[in-house]
Structure 1
Amino acid sequence: MFLFFKTFFYVFGTLFAVMNPIGAVPVFLSIAQHCRSYEGRITLAKRTSVAVFMTLITFALLGEWIFKFFGSTIDAFAIAGGILLFRMALEMLSGSLSTIKITHEEEEEALSLSEIAVIPLAIPLISGPGSITTVMIHMAKSTDYLGKIAVILAIFVASFSVYLVLMSAEKVQQRFGRVGIRLITRMMGLILASMAVQLVINGIKGAFGL
C-alpha cells in the first residue's frame, strides 16, 4: 500500500508540474472570451479536462504496445523522456508563459467550443509531449496491477485539478496576477527539473545494469 501511494503522489506531482494548469490560465481566459456566459466557460473547462484525461489515459494504456512496435526499451524511453522534461523545465524556469492562441483560420475551422477544448487547450497546451511521456513511462514501469491503478488514479486526479483551476481561472489570475503565475511556473519548473534528472539517472542505471 505504501508503494501505491508513493507511485500515485510521484506521478501526480510530475503531471501537475508538467501540465502547469496555473500557467495555462492566461491562455484559457483569452480563449474563453468566445464563451457568451459563465456557464459556457465552465463547460469549456470541463471539456478540456475530459480531453486531457482521455488523451493521457489512451497513451498510458497503449504505451506498452507502442514500445514493442518501435522496438524501444523503457530505459531508453526514460532517458529520452527525462531530456524532454528537462528542456521543458528550463523553459518554465525562465518564467515563460504559454503563447498559444487561436488563429483566424482555427476560428473558422472550429465548429464549436468542443473543438477548441481539445485543440489547442487540451492538446498541446496542457497534455503535451511531456505529459504523454510521463504517463507512458510510469505505466510501463509499474509491474503489478496496483501500481498501474495508482498511475490511472493520478491521471484522473491531475485531470480533475485542471478542471478546478480552469473553472476558477479569473479568480486565480486576480489572486496571483501574471507575476505570481510566472513565479509559480518557475517553482514547478525547478521541481520538474529535479524529476527529469532522476528519470535520466534511473534510465542509465537500468540500461547499463548499474
Structure 2
Amino acid sequence: MSYNIDQIITITFTLFAVIDIVGSIPLLITMKEKMGGIRPTTVTLVSGILMVSFLFVGQQFLKILGLDIRSFAVGGSIVIFLLGLEMVLGHEIFKADANAKSGMFVPLAFPIIAGSGTLTTIMSLKANYKEIYIVAGILINLVIIYTVLKSLNTLKRVLGENGLTAVRKFFGVVLLAIGVKIFASNIAAFGK
C-alpha cells in the first residue's frame, strides 16, 4: 500500500510543480485586480474538467494523430524540462498571451492552470502510472488550487517577493529532474 501512496505523492508533486500555482500568484493577483475578482470554484472546476478529460480522451486523440503515449511522453519530458529551465533561470521560454481578457476560462483555467505543460505532463505520467493515481494527484492539486485562489491576498502578504522567487526556483529544479526521468524511462522504447 505504501508503494501506491508513493506513486500518488510523486504524481501530486509533479503536477504541483508543473501547474506552479504558487509561482503564478503574482499573475493571479494581477488578474484578480483587472477582473474585479476571481471565482475560485468556477476556475477550479473548469481546470479539473480539462485535466481529467485530457487524461481519458488524450490517448484517443493521439491515436488519431498516429502517436503513442511513449512518444508523447518523450515530447512532454522536453516541455517539462524547458518549463523547469524557465523557472530556474527566470527567462521566459513559453510566451503567454498578455492580452487575454476572457476571464475565468481563458487565461485562468487555461492556460495558466491547465495549460499545455500540465496537459502534456498528465499524458507523460500516463506512460508510467495508473490512471487512478493520476486522478488522485489531480484532485489533490485541485484542492490546492482552490485554496490558493481563495487566499491570494494572504499568500501575497505571507510569502513576499523573495519567498515567491525562492519557491519558483525550487520547483524549477524539481521539474528538471522529473523531465530527465520521464525522458530516460521512455526513450529506450524507440530502440526496440
On whether the aligned pair clears a TM of 0.5, the verdict is: yes
Encode CA deviations 1:58-111: one digit per residue, 9 max, x unaligned. 1001122123222212221111111111111111002468995763xx54xx4x
TM-score between the two structures when normalised by the length of structure 2: 0.89
- Paired residues for 1:163-178 under 5 Å: 163-178=146-161
Q: One-letter code of the match for 1:15?
A: L
2:44 corresponds to 1:57: no
Provide the secondary structure at the position in 1 that maps to 2:22: coil
Aligned match of 2:73? 78
Aligned match of 1:135? 122
TM-score between the two structures when normalised by the length of structure 1: 0.82
Q: 1:202 is matched with which residue: 176, 185, 188?
A: 185
Mapped contact 1:95–1:183 kept (Cα < 8 A): no
Distance across 2 between alignment mates of 1:73 and 1:6: 26
Mapped contact 1:165–1:172 kept (Cα < 8 A): yes
RMSD after superposition: 2.2
Alpha carbons of structure 1 residues 208 and 122: separation in structure 2 relative to 1, 3 Å:
same
The CA deviation at 1:140 is 4.4
Q: One-letter code of the match for 1:125?
A: I
Q: Which runs of 4+ in 1 moved over 4 A?
A: 96-102
- Unpaired segments ≥5 residues, structure 2: none
Distance across 2 between alignment mates of 1:24 and 1:135: 19
Mapped contact 1:100–1:120 kept (Cα < 8 A): no
2:43 corresponds to 1:48: yes
- Unpaired segments ≥5 residues, structure 1: 111-115
Alpha carbons of structure 1 residues 65 and 141: separation in structure 2 relative to 1, 3 Å:
farther
Q: One-letter code of the match for 2:164?
A: I
Aligned match of 2:145? 162
Q: Count residues in correspondence.
A: 191
Q: One-letter code of the match for 2:185?
A: N
Alpha carbons of structure 1 residues 200 and 181: separation in structure 2 relative to 1, 3 Å:
same
Alpha carbons of structure 1 residues 80 and 99: separation in structure 2 relative to 1, 3 Å:
closer
Alpha carbons of structure 1 residues 3 and 208: separation in structure 2 relative to 1, 3 Å:
farther
Mapped contact 1:74–1:141 kept (Cα < 8 A): no
Distance across 1 between alignment mates of 2:146 and 2:113: 11
- Paired residues for 1:1-210 under 5 Å: 1-34=1-34, 41=38, 44-95=39-90, 103=99, 106-107=100-101, 110=102, 116-142=103-129, 147-209=130-192
Alpha carbons of structure 1 residues 99 and 197: separation in structure 2 relative to 1, 3 Å:
closer
Aligned match of 1:113? none
Alpha carbons of structure 1 residues 60 and 24: separation in structure 2 relative to 1, 3 Å:
same
Distance across 2 between alignment mates of 1:3 and 1:71: 33
Distance across 2 between alignment mates of 1:100 and 1:177: 24
